[in-house]
Amino acid sequence: MVFIKNLVKKRLPLSPKKIKDIAVSMLGTKYEISIVVGGDALLKKLNVSYRKKKDTTNVLSFSLAPNLGEVFLNEKRIALEARISGKKVGEHFAYILIHALLHLKGFAHGSTMEREEKKILSRFSRITN
């Protein structure tokens, strides 16, 4: 089950259905995940509390149990990164979501994770445009 909470009071770059499709395809139907979309203040507060880092971030993911997790996405930071890199905001949002979900699946940063991100993003490119 996928729960989505939009705290930014504006339309998300991907529809809730597309977000759910990505999450379910990657984690399966037995995984329960909460996806919260917030801004700089929320992500900074969580980053300080849980990672002891003083800056905001674009995403945080928390594995709470084998089939339970939370993802916090910073809509403002993701949109800024998309503009800077010349990407569509929906495409970058999908990439960051995929990145977070791979962490929940146990992936660590590195070339293996990067290959997996590209492979999964290419599967979903039609829904992010």
- The string of pLDDT tens digits covering residues 38-72 is 999 999 999 999 999 998 899 999 999 999 999 99
Which of 57, 62, 114, 121 shows the shortest CA–CA distance to 94?
Answer: 121
Q: Is the pLDDT assigned to residue 28 strictly greater than 60?
A: yes
The residue-averaged pLDDT of 25-35 equals: 94
Q: Where residue 101 falls among pLDDT bands split at 50, 70, 90? A: very high
Pairing mode, if any, of strands 2-6 and 32-38? parallel
Q: Distance from CA of residue 25 to its chain's centroid?
A: 14
Joined tokens for residue 4: 């989505």
pLDDT computed for residue 127 by the predictor: 52
Q: What is the mean pLDDT of the chain?
A: 90
Which of 96, 95, 49, 53 shows the shortest CA–CA distance to 71?
Answer: 96
Helix axes 89-104, 16-27, angle to 10 degrees: 30
pLDDT computed for residue 71 by the predictor: 96
pLDDT computed for residue 114 by the predictor: 85
Which of 84, 69, 71, 60 shows the shortest CA–CA distance to 19?
Answer: 71
The residue-averaged pLDDT of 69-83 equals: 95
Domain spanning 2-128, CATH class: alpha beta
Structural domain boundaries in the chain? 2-128
pLDDT computed for residue 129 by the predictor: 47
E-strand spans in the chain? 2-6, 32-38, 59-65, 68-74
pLDDT computed for residue 126 by the predictor: 60
